[in-house]
Amino acid sequence: MHNRCNRWQVITRLHLVLSATIFWISCFSIVGTGFTASAAEMPEIQQRGYLTVAVKDNLRPLGFRDANGNLQGLEIDLAQRLALDLVGKTDAVKLQPVANRDRLSVVLDKKVDFAIARVTATESRSRIVSFSVPYYLDGTVLVTKDASVNKLSDLAKQKIAVLNNSSTIAKVRFYLPNAELVGVNSYHEAREKIESNAAVAFAADATVLSGWVQQYPQYQLLPTKLSTEPLSVVMPKGLQYDKLRRNVNQAIARYLEQGWLQQRSQYWGLP
């Protein structure tokens, strides 16, 4: 019993040291960029009269540009709706397109108030930023152009393309253990595999493959999701941002209750 207690104390101390180390590394990383780890507080946002929001501009149907170069998509709709509720006008929002690698850092570096840029809420990310309640549940789905494939079991022993080193691999292996997985390095390569009959289907995120089907109507999404991954608004941590977080969370909860988010998701062709 005494040894067991000692082991527990050691584990606890190691956990505390590791947590502290991660915290200070994060702090030094932020200081090293020359920015302070802060975003605008709610009174400042209301006083200036607009929001600044990081979004995607190349990810149909969440955030992309139309033929005239205007931003549109589900996440653009959400940013504009939050602007209406938080500062009074749908056009009171400055949209800042960001690359995937910058989706968290722009919030930490005070470049935007928050980000709505297809960010999955994870435990590791929640150590440095706060997440809203989910506005959409993403997940792994399969796309195919084979008209004979209508359900998951139709792919039981078929060739399925998956992105190399992605978490999708484990999900497909779990549901389709006898399928042959074909590794690819990009979505473009996955389409080439299907077009050349080197693969029957491609497994990836529903939000991305929805845009694929809209661009290539000869393809179809299978109805079964292999996973569920919450997409959330990225917001700064800290007590000074409590009002901002509460306002965003309450607004999204209201959009879900009223069915507005479901309607917009369907409008943009999301499963």
- Cβ partners under 8 Å of residue 268, min gap 6: 61, 62, 73, 74, 77, 210
H-type helices in the chain, by residue range?
Answer: 2-32, 42-48, 74-87, 105-108, 168-175, 187-195, 206-215, 242-258, 260-267
CA distance 73 to 266: 11
112-161 tens-digit pLDDT:
999 999 999 999 999 999 999 999 999 999 999 999 999 999 999 999 99
CA distance 76 to 97: 11
Q: Is the model's pLDDT at 270 over the cut of 60?
A: yes
Q: Which residue pairs from 186-195 have beta carbons closer than 8 angstroms and sit at least 24 positions apart in sequence?
A: 187/163, 187/212, 189/161, 190/161, 190/163, 191/216, 193/161, 194/144, 194/145, 194/161
DSSP label of 180: E
How is residue 195 written in tokens? 């077009």
Is the CA virtual torsion 231, 56, 100, 31 positive or negative?
negative
Domain boundaries 155-222, corresponding CATH code: 3.40.190.10
Tell which CATH architecture fits domain 42-139+231-268.
3-Layer(aba) Sandwich (3.40)
Nearest to 118 by CA among 165, 64, 169: 64
Q: Is the model's pLDDT at 88 over the cut of 50?
A: yes
How does the average pLDDT of the chain come out, rounded?
Answer: 87
Is there a contact between 203 and 142 (Cβ–Cβ < 8 Å)?
Answer: yes
What are residue 244's phi and psi, to 5 degrees?
Answer: -60, -45
215-229 tens-digit pLDDT:
999 999 999 999 999
Is there a contact between 137 and 231 (Cβ–Cβ < 8 Å)?
Answer: yes
* pTM as predicted: 0.81
3-45 tens-digit pLDDT:
444 443 433 343 433 343 333 334 333 333 333 334 678 888 8
Q: Is the model's pLDDT at 79 over the cut of 70?
A: yes
Four-point Cα dihedral 17, 101, 215, 78, nearest 10: 80
What is the per-residue pLDDT for 39? 60
What is the per-residue pLDDT for 178? 97
Comma-separated ranges of CATH 3.40.190.10 domains in the chain: 42-139+231-268, 155-222
What is the per-residue pLDDT for 32? 33
